[in-house]
Structure 1
Amino acid sequence: MNEQPSKIYLLPNLMTAGNLFCGFTATLRILEGALLQSTNADLAADRFHEAIWFVLGAFVFDFLDGRLARLGGHESPFGREFDSLADIVSFGLAPAAKHNAANHQNTFTGFPIPAAAGLIASITLFLLWLAEGEHHLGNWRFVLPPLLLFLSFMMFSRFQYPSFKAVNWKTKKSIPRFLIIILVLIFTVLNYEWMPAVLFLAYLLYGVLRSWLSREWRREIEEEIGEEIG
């Protein structure tokens, strides 16, 4: 039997291209900042700020591409490989390859690498906000090194994290869920200095606690299609 030719769909792959662009641009900004540190510390700090926003932008694009593909029924082998390439550039090599090889479509085994990158970027943004404002960094300045080690373990752990790629938007709960998402987004934009870090930390903690929750609670939170009722 002849195999169907792989199709390339525009909108999901545009999101993946946005992920790739943000990751590449963030890398350039970091390199520019590193080169400028000894001659122009203020400009170097600006470059690092820009890199943080590009990493967060890459996370948003990575979040959207798979969901748009599934909503339109436009998943393709090319899209999956293109998404993996973008993840390599934006978030790192080994964890991206690990998650690409995972068999589960609706969950990740281990903390997803885009979420780990988003957590590091959002915590860095929070620390910069503390340092530049009338706040005192205190012990917060020691957070990143142990957090990086902890995330390295979590990315290769056996904890299950929902991908939210199969959320059912055709139920009676769709409108309330959509309104909640809009309110959270508005609140996050208004409190962009610290709210992204709270969201990423909540996701990190959820994976640790997920196995302790009943199947009904998990279904209520994740609303995944096709999950068996035990």
Structure 2
Amino acid sequence: MSADHDYDEEETATPGPAWLGPKASEHEVVTRSRAGKGLSMRSLVPNAITAAALCSGLTSILFAIAGQWDKAVFAMIIAGVLDGMDGRIARLLKAQSRFGAELDSLADSASFGMAPALVLYLWSLAEVPRFGWLAALAYAICCALRLARFNAQIDVDDQPHKLAGFLTGVPAPMGAGFAFMPMYLWLATDEDVFREPWLVGPWLVFVALLMVSNLATPSWKSLRPSPSLKLFVLVLAGLTVGGLLIETWWTLVLIGVVYSALIVWTLFRYAKVRRQQRVDKAAADKSETVTPPEGRKPLAVDEVEQQLAQDRDP
């Protein structure tokens, strides 16, 4: 291995301080870091993408202050796309670092927690400042708590959702996309009802609870299509991009509805997995045989009945 590498290509990290990021998903197996080497040149690429995602997410606040709501949404979408790229590029380049892990978490908290809360407050919730600010705070805090829970559970082996191939709670980028659903509908229809703070506030709190919930939610691992459906997925991806270019807001609403349906599907699928796990455990317990004490032969059926009769009649 050359001297400028700060990782071991073959060795994976054991649970503990050696776990790295940013990760492409919560299921990624990462390489081991060699502390004290600093950032390698190749690690600058994914970290630069993370920084760009942070800048894009925070710039949405600037557009919101100027009342340019469509640009605020586009800035948030760009932040989500960049956030999905940084971990995968880090893995492809084998450029993961502890610095990248910390930067990624902080960037997600700012881009998908604080920024959406402020944008939605300026767009709608400012009309009822006390209630609106509490709703915005609830969302920002829950987003930070979700990211903290993920970081804290990296070392935990007993994670039922992860072992079954699912996530726990709605991820921060999808939570931000969900939070903007009333704005998508308002931009698509120009109906002021979708801007009502008494609708936006409860919706924002609901999304916040989804992020910190213990619900099983879909992951990329659980959504891998079968070989027969891969061409269909390519067509669907192309149509989605076309829809975003032609009917941006309705396409975003449709994406939100599809993701909601996937959450419901995941709940039923996870319940089925848990039932199967209980059945397998019960069958394994039943198959275990009790060995007789050492030096004693197993009794035949008639000998067992005779022994029971003797125990009943002293």
TM-score by length of 1: 0.69
Q: Deviations over 1:78-126 (max 9, x none)?
A: 3222211211210223333233334359643111121111122243132
**Residue matched to 1:68:** 89
Aligned twin of 1:78: 99
Maintained 8 Å contact 1:70/1:166: no
SS at match of 2:105: helix
Corresponding residue of 1:18 = 52
Query: 1:161 is aligned with what amino acid?
Result: T
In 2, are the aligned partners of 1:16 and 1:86 still within 8 Å (CA)?
yes
Which of 141, 161, 167 is equivalent to 1:108?
167
Match of 2:216 in 1: 160
Q: Which has the higher contact order (CA 8 A, sep 6+)?
A: 1
- 184-193 or 6-15, larger mean C-alpha shift: 6-15
TM-score (norm. length: structure 2): 0.53
- Distance in 2, Cα, partners of 1:45 & 1:214: 43
Q: Secondary structure at the match of 2:217?
A: strand
Is the Cα contact below 8 Å between 1:119 and 1:201 reproduced in 2? Answer: no
One-letter amino acid of the structure 2 residue matched with residue 83 of structure 1:
D
Q: Does residue 121 of the first structure (1) align with residue 176 of the second (2)?
A: no
- The alignment's C-alpha RMSD in Å is 3.5
SS class of match (1:75) = coil
Which residue is 1:97 aligned to? 148
Instruction: Compute the displacement of 1:20 (Å).
Output: 0.7
Find the aligned partners of 2:176 and 2:47 in 1 and give their Cα distance: 21
Unaligned stretches of 5+ in structure 1? 34-43, 218-230
State the identity %: 27
In structure 1, the residue matched to 2:280 is none
Give the aligned partner of residue 203 of structure 1.
259
Asked if structure 2 preserves the Cα contact closer than 8 Å seen for 1:119 and 1:200, the reply is yes
Aligned mate of 2:108, from 66, 78, 87: 87
Instruction: Give the stretch that moved more between structures: 201-210 or 190-199.
Output: 201-210
Is 1:184 matched with 2:243?
Answer: no
The total of aligned residue pairs comes to 199
1:176–1:201 Cα change, 3 Å? closer
Instruction: Give, in whole Å, the separation in 2 of the partners of 1:193 and 1:51.
Output: 13
For residue 140 of structure 1, report the CA deviation from its aligned partner. Answer: 7.2
C-alpha distance 3-147 of structure 1, shift in aligned 2 (>3 A): closer
Distance in 2 separating the partners of 1:70 and 1:139: 41
Deviations along 1:188-228, whole A, 9 cap, x unmatched?
322102211221232234223303127999xxxxxxxxxxx
Aligned match of 2:23: none
Q: Mark the runs of 5 or more structure 2 residues left unpaired by the alignment.
A: 1-31, 114-143, 155-161, 274-314
CA–CA separation in structure 2 for the residues paired with 1:140 and 1:128: 10
Q: 1:63 Cα shift?
A: 1.9
Q: What corresponds to 1:45 in structure 2?
A: 67
For the 8 Å contact 1:110–1:155, the answer to whether it is kept is: yes
